[in-house]
Structure 1
């Protein structure tokens, strides 16, 4: 049970009027007292012997109860943290922060919208010139505080990208900030900026990277490594679905969503 799940539990306890502490993800004495009070209030829904469970198991049981009360399938209330409980907790977190459950993401494919008429990779050099020459860059301010992924003490004020994509990028950042808010963006690691313009070839390839034209951005590379797929990459999780939809609605492409590798990478270039 991670800190995000504990924060979800604390929000539930607050709604139950048994907790008035900080939503800090720390399972301290106040949270434990609220858990016990809430479980007593719903004792009829617990199995026999639940009162003898450890504090950790009772916390998981309380989160399972929260999911059950919100009509989210979490399996039996057994206090055991498994894949079903973990998924149910992420659905509850989305419900708490957005007011609705996430769409059934496994039924949906990434959108192929292209409202900005982005070029395809094969067209870039002819349309925008050689990647060996520095492109016309502009800095797009970010509405939440960024930190360089490899040096979290360095906080750039914005993202330097090709001027062609600046307006689109500004819209996406604004919408992401409005949807998630700065605290949630930080919790999700979306303040960990991995760079935009970089005159280099593709890692593991011979062609020029879309970064060489300032048309691609990397997010939280430490938790979304190049060869990682959906089973490991953080940005593949359910709670990032809206994040990716905001990019896709502007025609940007996630390599993770379309190719299941390099989940850190999103580009204003069609494949």
Structure 2
């Protein structure tokens, strides 16, 4: 539960008349008092023993109550932050901001947007030059702390990529961090960075990998192995829907979502 989620909670508490403070994303005394009032008013929704929960768990429970009252499917009111609570809170936040729930995301095919004019794979050698020569590189800072997937004690300062994709990548990382927050990104394994530039051919193939031009990134390789499909890959799970939507709105392509293999891989090149 990050500051964005606390702001969603504060808006609910303000709408219900129990909170008069600022929408600042901080669980201060006024927020805690409003939570107590709200949970007391909806004690029939809480399980036995809820009085002994920590303030953090009670805050999650209060958000779950808010979702339940809005008829958003949130699961049990248990004060525990899991994928269902995360999704329900996102729906609640969208309703607060727009007055209506978000359009169904999982019913849609991967977005085929290309606002940055990415080349197709077949055009890369002609457009960007030989993959045997190192491309013009830029290091894009990452708002959350990265760890090398194969050496979790090593923390890259950013992602080295082709200069062509640097601005787009920076926008994506900022949006992802704003949406999930560093704590949740770590819980989701999105701090496990599998690399960007790598002068090599595709694993299991003969053509050059998009990594050779520095326009592809791997995330959490150990939980999203090359041959794994939706039944096994971590990045295929529902809590990563917004993650993929943010990439696809910038025209990046997930091999997992388009081909159902190599779910770790996302590239700024059309297939």
Equivalence map 1:93-112=2 (5 Å): 93-95=89-91, 103-112=103-112
- Local SS of the residue matching 2:106: helix
- Call closer, same or farther: CA 1:97–1:203 in 2, change over 3 Å: farther
Going from structure 1 to structure 2, the CA distance change for 1:63 and 1:176 (only over 3 Å counts) comes to closer
Q: Residue 261 of structure 2 aligns with which residue?
A: 261
Report deviation, 1:72.
Answer: 2.9
CA distance in 1, matches of 2:83, 2:128: 44
Structure 1 residue 232, shift from structure 2 partner: 1.9
Q: Provide closer, same or farther for how the CA distance between residues 73 and 177 of structure 1 changes in structure 2, counting only shifts above 3 A.
A: closer
| Structure 2, gaps ≥5 residues long | 19-26, 28-37, 49-60
| 1:141-198 residue CA offsets vs partner (Å, 9 max, x unmatched) | 1121111111111000011111111111111112222222222222222111110001
CA root-mean-square deviation = 3.9
TM norm structure 1: 0.70
- Are 1:181 and 2:181 an aligned pair? yes
**Structural mapping, 1:121-140, within 5 Å:** 121-140=121-140
- Change over 3 Å in CA distance of 1:261–1:102 after alignment to 2: farther
Structure 1 residue 252: deviation in Å?
0.8
Measure, in 1, the Cα distance between the counterparts of 2:183 and 2:83.
Answer: 21
Partner of 1:230: 230
**C-alpha distance 64-250 of structure 1, shift in aligned 2 (>3 A):** closer
Q: C-alpha separation between the residues in 1 aligned to 2:251 and 2:77?
A: 44
Conservation of the 8 A alpha-carbon contact between 1:72 and 1:91: no
Is the partner of 2:122 in helix, strand or coil?
Answer: helix
Note the residue ranges of structure 1 that are not aligned, 5 or more in a row.
18-22, 24-37, 52-60, 80-85
Counterpart in the other structure of 1:82: none
Partner of 2:88: 92
Whole-Å separation in 2 of the counterparts to 1:62 and 1:173: 30
Question: Would the alpha carbon gap of residues 125 and 235 (structure 1) be closer, same or farther in structure 2, given more than 3 Å must change?
Answer: same
Distance 2:102 2:204 in 1: 35
